[in-house]
Structure 1
Amino acid sequence: MNAIAKRIQDLEALESGRTARPDFDLFWDRLMLEEKAIPVRGERTRAESPLLGTISYDVVYTGFADTPIHGWLLLPENAPRKPLPCIVLYHGYTGSRELPEHHAVWLMMGYAVFAVDVRGQGGITGNTLAQHGGSSKGWVTQNILDKDNFYYKAITVDALRAVRFVKEQPEIDPQRIIAMGTSQGGGLTLMVSSLLREEVRIAVASLPNMCQLDSAIINSVGSISEVADYLTRHPEDLDAALDTLSYFDAVNLADRIQAPLLCTVSLKDPVCTPDSIYAAYNRITSSKEMIVYPFNGHWTGPDHMRKVHAFIQQHL
């Protein structure tokens, strides 16, 4: 057996314990009950776009802490079947919903797209979440000692409401919702798929973040390293920070996922490390498939979109 095959075999056999606290299930069950009781308020406005054969809407819906979240709802006019399957697209750290034309490939394949901003990052969406203490650079450590007001809770609720909003749009088939994202967006895909089990039909999580967060603080050079920076200055907060992170670790929610899942890992990825991704992936019991890129860093392959499309068509 060569070294690459051995590495993959070891990852597939990896067992990771959950770090969930005793009230973990209560925390999420209560939050989901609260969410279902809150109507998702949103508005959509027709937008100009250079895309031919596409109707574009500029959407604003209300996220956590009443933050207005911006997104693009993009509808292909000549899709073979309507109402439309819809990809709810979550971007990577520091990114944005981008421009409508950046999502043209999915539209040409016949999917509607709802591409949403993550609050406070590179898009036009702000962040009204009150900050109750200090933080390091970036966004990940905002309220790191308070799980009820932590930044990851805010972006998870925002992501949940994106699915709930688009599901109610008249052009969208509510039975064909696809959650999709890369890196931070992949982590949000896992979170949403585990919490909206009846709403998400298919999940596509590429190089997902938000996995095995206690280990990622030590090993990742990505966004979670901001927590390491914070704890370097405030070592007395280690236990409290790990406690908060445990509620938003996909490892602890993975066994709730029911939708077919396509996941991606790159074996040389220093941001979303293979061990952390497999720690969550190996706990998923639904139909699943892993694409392994042995020589890639924090990126997928040139044929990745084609593989994703094939997986969706197989399970849609």
Structure 2
Amino acid sequence: MPSTFDMPLEELSRYRGTNPRPDDFDAYWDAAVAEMNAVDPRIEIIPDEEFQTPFATCSHLWFTGAGGARIHAKLLQPKPVAVPHPAVLMFHGYTGDCGGWLEKLGYAAAGFTVAALDCRGQGGCSEDVGGVRGNTHRGHIIRGLGDAPEKMLYRSIFLDTAQLAKIVMAMDDVDENRVGAMGGSQGGALALACAALEPRVARCAPVHPFLCDYKRVYDLDLAKDAYAELEEYFRKFDPQHRREDEIFRQLGYIDVQHLAPRIKAEVLLATTLRDTVCPPSTQFAAYNKIASTKSLEVYPDFAHEPPPGFAERTYQFMMEMC
């Protein structure tokens, strides 16, 4: 097997991350989850007027998240209802949206409730309440770096994933012990964050997760593409890197590698060794900290792209909950 541009696979299997972990990290996220649990979600489920199928009801799920934002997800509920049945949560890539109905029908046809989140302020319908209406699209990693750690936007986005899981688990026809989470890139990071913050998630299938080990990304000179805002932040707000340690420490609050030890779900993770968008070492920093049952699928010759066959492997992995 060829070596990754990053570090050899043997070293990757031992790598534990570079970005610092704040001393009060656990207290920070315990307080965040308590805040989420105190929110009245004001749930609305509205059937879609244009798309329905004989075997699933397709609806728009709305709920109130942290800071009062109204958050949207597409919801597919199988029919006739088999009680209780499993569910899957789907998370999308950076700046994207929850996608169309068609790509979710395979799980609904197999008897899963499916909920696919629109990340606040990105390409979908969810609201970003950070001072403007509509989306903010990019710059979400650095949102809040000049303020208290509680103001960081990904804190709210991570909480949205856990709140969606909590809402789906509370549905009368869903078995709360058979809920899975999945996604690629940002979606992979959010699947891991969801499983970390809602420990009842049973299965988690991330692909080349984003939002891991920010300092490693910067040290590799790969603060480009999806991570370009890191370099832009230094160029505009700390051009001589006088606050570098402080900045990476604050980013540590929203670093998925530090949430990974909280995961209790069984994890199936796919990594691509030629990925220069989400470098392999950053993904391994998170994977190596997962203490629950886990397995890794490695694709040596692939970059930041869907690894062939892994969608089907994920489907089989989730079907084991049926």
Judge same fold: TM > 0.5, yes or no: yes
Question: Aligned equivalents of 2:277 and 2:156: distance in 1?
Answer: 22
Partner of 1:219 in structure 2? 222
Q: Is the 8 A contact 2:95 2:138 kept in 1?
A: no
Q: 1:141–1:277: structure 2 CA closer, same or farther, 3 Å change rule?
A: same
Q: State which drifts further: 57-66 or 11-20.
A: 11-20
Residue in structure 2 matching 1:184, options 183, 186, 189 = 186
Deviation of 1:73 after TM superposition, in Å, equals 0.9
Q: State which drifts further: 35-44 or 85-94.
A: 35-44
Partner of 2:316 in structure 1? 310
Question: Aligned equivalents of 1:241 and 1:16: distance in 2?
Answer: 16
Partner of 1:286 in structure 2? 292
Q: 1:282–1:91: structure 2 CA closer, same or farther, 3 Å change rule?
A: same
Q: Which runs of no fewer than 5 residues in structure 1 stay unpaired? A: none
**AA partner of residue 315 (structure 2):** H
Question: Aligned equivalents of 2:243 and 2:88: distance in 1?
Answer: 39
Q: Matched residue of 2:94: which SS?
A: coil
Q: Matched residue of 1:148: which SS?
A: helix
TM-score normalized by the length of structure 1: 0.90
Cα deviation code 1:291-310 (max 9, x no counterpart): 11111111222311221122
Deviation of 1:225 after TM superposition, in Å, equals 2.0
Partner of 2:276 in structure 1? 270
State yes or no: 1:248 paired with 2:254: yes
Q: Is the 8 A contact 1:90 1:186 kept in 2?
A: yes
Q: Is the 8 A contact 2:196 2:259 kept in 1?
A: yes
Partner of 2:2 in structure 1? 3
Deviation of 1:82 after TM superposition, in Å, equals 2.9
Identity %: 27
Question: Aligned equivalents of 2:166 and 2:265: distance in 1?
Answer: 16
Higher relative contact order (CA closer than 8 Å, sequence separation 6+): 2
Q: State which drifts further: 116-125 or 7-16.
A: 7-16
**AA partner of residue 182 (structure 1):** G
CA RMSD of aligned residues (A): 2.3
Q: State which drifts further: 12-21 or 227-236.
A: 12-21
TM-score normalized by the length of structure 2: 0.88
Q: Is the 8 A contact 2:19 2:215 kept in 1?
A: no
Q: Which runs of no fewer than 5 residues in structure 2 stay unpaired? A: none
Q: 1:263–1:300: structure 2 CA closer, same or farther, 3 Å change rule?
A: same
Partner of 1:148 in structure 2? 150
Q: Is the 8 A contact 2:223 2:231 kept in 1?
A: no
Question: Aligned equivalents of 2:155 and 2:205: distance in 1?
Answer: 21
Question: Aligned equivalents of 2:58 and 2:321: distance in 1?
Answer: 27
Q: State which drifts further: 142-151 or 4-13.
A: 4-13
Partner of 1:46 in structure 2? 47
Deviation of 1:211 after TM superposition, in Å, equals 0.9
Partner of 1:259 in structure 2? 265
